[in-house]
Amino acid sequence: MEFRCIDECSDCCVQREYYPTKEFGKIGVLILPEEKEKIEKLAESKKIKIKILPRIGISENRNETPSKILAYQLMGIEENGNTCPFLDTKSGKKSSHGGYPCKIYDNKPLACSAYPLIENEPIALDQKCKFCKECGTADKNLEFETESLLKIKEMMQTNATHVWRYATGVGEEKDCKIIKTGWILEEGI
């Protein structure tokens, strides 16, 4: 089946999830180090306030905090972590499939171009994508998503033994007691 966005859907630009667990808080859009400055400049030129936090870091020693950051994340604008700051929810304009448009569509992060593809070999789509909820899965019309996912994988390759994930401290009010903030050591990405 061919992948195509569901009419009027903007879910992937609005909904943010706890990942990998609630303790880590809600994640933002993955931003590669190579993309960070470009995204910051785009926000500045469009007078959009953004918050970018670290996401994945690596270190030589497990007793140190990360010496290198492999990925950052662009946080949502709502208190609960939802809604990308670049999503145009106010002007009344529509995206090509009738959802809210992206204000930086031609320069959006690779992670946005890859979505909903989360694995290319074999193909796996994020089951939270509305297309998957309504149609199951797809294996065609995913060339652009595959290319973007492969670039992300290539740029995030690491042999580091100590991988850290940043807990964002962001989430629903009812979860605030268990959500942490700061670097947490993991065994793998």
Binding region for ligand SF4 (CB under 6 A): 5-6, 9-13, 29, 84, 86-87, 99, 102, 104, 108-109, 112, 115-116, 129-131
C-beta of 84: minimal distance to ligand SF4 in Å? 3
C-beta of 10: minimal distance to ligand SF4 in Å? 6
C-beta of 182: minimal distance to ligand SF4 in Å? 24
Beta carbon nearer to ligand SF4, 72 or 86 = 86
Beta carbon nearer to ligand SF4, 48 or 176 = 48
Beta carbon nearer to ligand SF4, 17 or 60 = 17
3-state secondary structure the chain: CECCCCCCCCHHHHCCCECCCHHHCECCEEECHHHHHHHHHHHHHCCCCCCEEEEEEEECCCCCCCCEEEEEEECCCCCCCCCCCCECCCCCCCCCCCCCCECCHHHCCHHHHHCCEEEECCEEECCCCHHHHHHCCCCECCHHHHHHHHHHHHHCCCCCCEEEEEEECCCCHHHCCCCCEEEEEECCC
